[in-house]
Structure formats: structure tokens, C-alpha cells
Amino acid sequence: DVKVTQSSRYLVKRTGEKVFLECVQDMDHENMFWYRQDPGLGLRLIYFSYDVKMKEKGDIPEGYSVSREKKERFSLILESASTNQTSMYLCAIGTNSYEQYFGPGTRLTVT
């Protein structure tokens, strides 16, 4: 079974803080994704990475950056957190057979 781990289940940060959300996979998959989930909007893609040091913007990259220094680890960075970034953040990996598996999610609250 594919295992996707996210560093925190719940996080509370203050406006203006730098926030790191980390995602780790236990396999060797190239594709990794960061989504945010908001009620009534479903999941929206923030960024994805198709290999080490490779990244592409998704639909809503503004206010976020990412880092992929090692294949198993994909980090989402909020350079200066704002209240409209309060959300559930979900990491996923993509397999060669076109399946995506998700981590448990991080619920981030920015006050």
C-alpha cells in the first residue's frame, strides 16, 4: 500500500508567519501534488512536482511556493500566511497507473 504522510494534522499560525507543510511518501513515485480543500469548492491544485527540483503551478499558486529537494519529500511553503489561507491542505502522490493517493490532510488556521 502507498503511504503518504503529512507533518501535522492541525496547525494554528498567525498572520504574517512563514509556514511549512511537509509531505512524505514511502515509495519512489515521481509525481506529487498539493491541493487545498474548501467547502463548496472541492479540491483545487496549488502546485505539483514531477521530479526532484521540478515543479509546476496549479490553478491557485499565488501566495504559495514549493520545494522538492528529495524524491520522497514535497514541501508547501506559505511565505507570509494570511487569513484567506485558512483551509485544509492535502498532499497526494500520482502512480504510473494514473491513480492518486492522498495523505490525511493538514487543517491550517491562520489567525
Partner 1 sequence: GEDVEQSLFLSVREGDSSVINCTYTDSSSTYLYWYKQEPGAGLQLLTYIFSNMDMKQDQRLTVLLNKKDKHLSLRIADTQTGDSAIYFCAERQTGANNLFFGTGTRLTVIP
Residues at the interface with partner 1 (CB under 8 A): 4, 31, 33, 35, 40-45, 48, 50, 58, 90, 92, 94, 98-105
* Residue 24 Cβ vs partner 1, minimum distance, rounded to whole Å: 14
Query: What DSSP character marks residue 79?
Result: S
CA 80 to chain centre: 16
d(CA 50, CA 33): 9
Closer to partner 1 by CB, 84 or 98: give it: 98
d(CA 19, CA 40): 25
* Residue 57 Cβ vs partner 1, minimum distance, rounded to whole Å: 11
Closer to partner 1 by CB, 17 or 38: give it: 38
* Residue 47 Cβ vs partner 1, minimum distance, rounded to whole Å: 10
Cα 13 to Cα 62, 73, 87, distances in angstroms: 19, 22, 12
